[in-house]
């Protein structure tokens, strides 16, 4: 479902190419603008991610053992952070998702020093939800 998004390695390469954080923030916002449409009927308490300062929703569909994820937020930068996570996780099998160290992958982007603690906590909450869904049977 996130086929419009570049893959994570491409995003990491683009981040390395960009000279400063103003450009990287603009790139994040642009990525957020490429998110697939979020199904309005799935925007509710059961898809809302707690621990995020902004409103954040993640919706999962399963295609065989693959998980497709769509997400949305009411904040532009957070939509970009969702796009990063979708590029990292969406369309992968549950075992592939569980094998990914998001912390190691996101460290390549040097985000921790450049996003607020609230946004960092939100990213951690989104990762926890994705991993929890990937851990479920069925």
- Cα separation of 98 and 112, whole Å? 22
Residue 96 burial by Cβ neighbours in a 10 Å radius (0-12, 13-18, 19+) = middle
Which positions are catalytic? 52
Q: What pTM was computed for the model? A: 0.92
At 56-90, the pLDDT tens digits run 999 999 988 899 999 999 999 999 999 999 999 99
The reported pLDDT for the residue numbered 1 is 41
Residues of the chain with pLDDT under 50: 1-3
Q: Per-residue DSSP letters for 94-131? A: HHHHHH--HHHHHHTTT-TTTS-HHHHHHHHHHHHHHH
Q: Report pLDDT for 112.
A: 81
Q: Which pLDDT belongs to residue 138? A: 60
Domain 8-135 in this protein, CATH class:
alpha beta
């Amino acid at each position: 479902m996130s086929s419009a998004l570049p893959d994570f390695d491409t995003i990491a390469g683009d981040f390395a190419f960009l000279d400063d954080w103003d450009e990287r923030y603009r790139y994040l916002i642009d990525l957020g603008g490429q998110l697939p449409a979020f199904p309005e009927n799935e925007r509710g308490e059961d898809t809302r991610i707690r621990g995020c300062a902004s409103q954040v929703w993640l919706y999962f569909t399963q295609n065989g053992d693959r998980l497709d994820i769509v997400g949305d937020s009411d904040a532009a930068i957070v939509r970009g952070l969702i796009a990063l996570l979708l590029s990292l996780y969406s369309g992968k099998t549950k075992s592939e998702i569980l094998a990914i160290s998001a912390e190691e992958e996101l460290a390549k982007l040097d985000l921790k020093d450049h996003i607020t603690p609230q946004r960092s906590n939100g990213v951690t909450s989104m990762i926890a939800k994705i991993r929890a869904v990937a851990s479920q049977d069925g």
